Amino acid sequence: MPRSQLMTMFVFLIILLHIALVSSSNLRPGYYSKSCPEAESIVRDVMKRALVREPRSVASVMRFQFHDCFVNGCDGSMLLDDTPTMLGEKLSLSNINSLRSYEVVDEIKEALEEKCPDVVSCADIIIMASRDAVALTGGPDWEVRLGRLDSLTASQEDADNIMPSPRANATTLIDLFDRFNLSVKDLVALSGSHSIGEGRCFSIMFRLYNQSGTGKPDPAINPMFREELYNLCPLDVDQNVTGNLDATPTLFDNQYFKDLVAGRGFLNSDETLFTFPRTSKFVRLYSKDQNEFFRDFVEGMLKMGDLQSGRPGEIRKNCRVANSVTVDHLVAEPQNRMESNHKSI
């Protein structure tokens, strides 16, 4: 391997290690209880309205926590639009034509800025909205830890290097999660986020027509389900056509795991969890015990939400655009922000 590639890989691994090890001691429940007491209720109200307008939108917003936290920590970087000097994460391989419903976060931020200007970060909005997406569709509810800062920049390259492909197998996923101190159990439980929402034909064409370069479909697909997928995604389909990720796409439950056991996983990165020995035991467990799934899912979401890069940050006024970089906006240490929160009481 060329020396330049080795150096790139080394730097990448150092970044991942740093993200995983930064302390989350500044994050706590009720962070805005004095500086913006209605923050969490405002977020939930907007999510309720989004659910009524378009049920799929809340599932889309829930994905934001995964795509944000895995790329340089939970810092709202994935919300930034491109600028002439910065390629952001929205057009990265894992996000382009996939992530959607950014306007829901815009609506939340607008409501919060009206009530509590310059207080609630976009990074925390993602965490709260992801929790609410689960709770509002029948899943567990939990107390989130808040107090994050918004990044000053974003990196398409980092997103491309880190986020997994829908073609990923269990080994690749286990290795990725392990870099962030997330266990095999965390991987399987958090994959249960696919209990709600839809996926694109683009993500499964290789499974249907050329799995592993064989020119044949993935043998793990249930034959009857394979026929359903053929009808949904023929070779000449618009690959942005979507299909349900499980049999109950608007209800957060353990049906996703039941479907995996039955060979009805939509994505390769889903079905591989059942066909791989180290992950299959958790798939079987969650398919039989929804309460166990809910408990482990919450634990995984909290652990993932604690990922931080330790970089300087700010409270954006608009989640799509970083503030002007001035002394007034920059906060070098989370502790400074905690002190300013208390001073605003």
Specify the pLDDT at position 164: 87
pLDDT over 60 (residue 331): no
Report long-range pairs for 84-87 (Cβ below 8 Å, ≥24 apart): 86/153, 86/154, 87/154, 87/155, 87/156, 87/157
Specify the pLDDT at position 24: 53
Beta strand pairing call for 198-200 and 242-244: antiparallel
Stronger pLDDT, 15 or 231, i.e. the higher one: 231
Specify the pLDDT at position 1: 54
Specify the pLDDT at position 25: 56
Specify the pLDDT at position 247: 97
Specify the pLDDT at position 290: 98
Q: Which residue numbers are catalytic? A: 67
CA distance between the termini of the chain: 57
Write the CB contacts of 264 (distance below 8 Å, at least 6 apart in sequence).
Answer: 221, 222, 225, 246, 247
pLDDT over 70 (residue 333): no
CB–CB of 47/95 below 8 Å?
A: no
Please report which helix (H) or strand (E) contains residue 199, including its range.
strand 198-200
- Mean of all residue pLDDT scores within the chain: 88
Q: Which residues share a beta bridge with 314?
A: 150
Specify the pLDDT at position 167: 86
- Mark out the alpha helices in 24-86 (DSSP H runs): 39-53, 55-69
Residue identified by tokens 């995996």 is 260
The one-letter code for the residue type at 288 is K
Specify the pLDDT at position 166: 85
Distance in angstroms (rounded) separating the CA atoms of residues 273 and 260: 8
- What percentage of the chain reaches a pLDDT higher than 90? 79
Write the CB contacts of 305 (distance below 8 Å, at least 6 apart in sequence).
Answer: 27, 65, 69, 74, 127, 144, 145
- What percentage of the chain reaches a pLDDT higher than 70? 87
Specify the pLDDT at position 92: 86
- b/e map 36-75, b = 16+ CB within 10 Å: beebbebbbebbeebbeeebbbbbbbbbbbbbbbbbbbbb
Specify the pLDDT at position 143: 98
Stronger pLDDT, 342 or 303, i.e. the higher one: 303
pLDDT over 90 (residue 334): no
Residues 76-104 have pLDDT tens digits of: 999 999 999 999 999 888 887 778 899 99
The phi and psi torsions of 26 (rounded to 5 degrees) equal: -85, -10
The one-letter code for the residue type at 30 is G
pLDDT over 70 (residue 10): no
**Stretch 120-145: mean pLDDT:** 98
Specify the pLDDT at position 93: 82
Residues 146-186 have pLDDT tens digits of: 999 999 999 999 999 999 888 899 999 999 999 999 999 99
CA atoms within 13 A on the CB side of 90: 14
Return the structure tokens found at 35. Answer: 């500086």
